[in-house]
Structure 1
Amino acid sequence: MRLIYRVEKRGDTWKISDMTGINEADTLTPAVPGTDLHVDPTDLKGLRASYRFLAYTRIKAGGKIGNDGIGTDRPETVKPIYDKAEAWIQKG
């Protein structure tokens, strides 16, 4: 995950004013190396590549995850983030 930070100086202190995550890709690694995680590839079908295993583990735990997250597999979700950051820098 790539994090896009914006910071502001308030008084004498710099503080994070905004942070946006962009999902790039993910992996699932066992805590004990060499352990088989028994992931059924059919369970991964339809999950977005940029956050496939995040979605998989959340679903397996009984939760839900949207398919509309910001990810490099859908550049149209990333461009507005960079455009907003660039506008903020230029305003600076």
Structure 2
Amino acid sequence: MRLMSGTDSELTKVLSLLTHERQARDRGWWSVLARYYTPEATIQTSWFDGTAADYIEVSKRVFEQTPSNHRLGLPVIDINGIRAIAEMPMTIEMRGTFRGVETDLTAHLRMLHRAEREGDAWRLDATVAIFDHDTMTPVNPAATVPFTPEDLQGRRPSYRMLSLWMTERGYTVPNDRYGIDRPADLTALYNDAYTWAGLPQPH
């Protein structure tokens, strides 16, 4: 973690923002979750791309259908005055029924956050998921997850299982999300984020 300006207490505040935001999402504390975003905040995940307000509304339905847990890694936080960039490693865990078989889905990714300080409070202004890889396994080792190679044709390797899982539940998962299989897109994404924050380019 680093500061271009400010104090270590600002790093702690941003870290608290990141962890409390995911806690509220996983617990279904929707009114609390809304406090962690600016009015103009946007979010892009595999299945959603839009405003934070709309994300909360759609997340209520996803939460009822397939609860998930977000396991967080230690973030990298860079602060410049009232703006910050935070990269948070994350593992999403879902357990549910896939074509009649109880199944665990695990997706490995990182979230790239833009945060802004208003007074003493930090809030998220933009969040983008960057996908690494994912797996789908039966809860019962003796069972078999019922999918075929054709199910994965045309799906991105960085989030193909998650894409299949959400599509089966009626959600549209576009093929243009950020993932490690498209490094040029990631370079542009990071350059834009660090420019927004007035920070040196990360490479």
Tell me the TM-score range normalised by the shorter chain. Answer: 0.7 to 0.9
Aligned ranges for residues 76-91 of structure 1 at < 5 Å? 76-87=184-195, 88-90=197-199
> Which position in structure 1 is the counterpart of 2:144?
36
CA distance in structure 2 between the partners assigned to 1:79 and 1:26 by the alignment:
22
> Which position in structure 1 is the counterpart of 2:165?
57
State which of 132, 144, 149 in structure 2 corresponds to 1:24: 132
User: TM-score when scaled to structure 1?
Assistant: 0.80
Moved more, 11-20 or 52-61: 52-61
Higher RCO structure (Cα 8 Å, ≥6 apart): 1
Secondary structure of residue in 2 paired with 1:37:
coil
User: TM-score when scaled to structure 2?
Assistant: 0.40
CA distance in structure 2 between the partners assigned to 1:41 and 1:63 by the alignment:
21
Structure 1 letter corresponding to 2:180 = T
Structure 2 letter corresponding to 1:48 = R
> Which position in structure 2 is the counterpart of 1:2?
110
Structure 1 ranges of 4+ moved more than 3 A? 61-64
> Which position in structure 1 is the counterpart of 2:35?
none
Please list the CA deviations of residues 33-54 of structure 1 after superposition, one character each: whole Å capped at 9, or x if unmatched: 4131122122112211011011
Matched, 1:70 2:178: yes
Q: How many residues align?
A: 90
Structure 2 letter corresponding to 1:90 = L
Secondary structure of residue in 2 paired with 1:90:
coil
* Structure 2 residues without counterparts, runs of 5 or longer: 1-108
**Relative to total residues, which structure has the larger strand share, 1 or 2?**
2
Secondary structure of residue in 1 paired with 2:135:
coil
Q: Percent identity?
A: 33
Aligned CA distance change for structure 1 residues 61 and 84 (closer, same or farther; 3 Å):
same
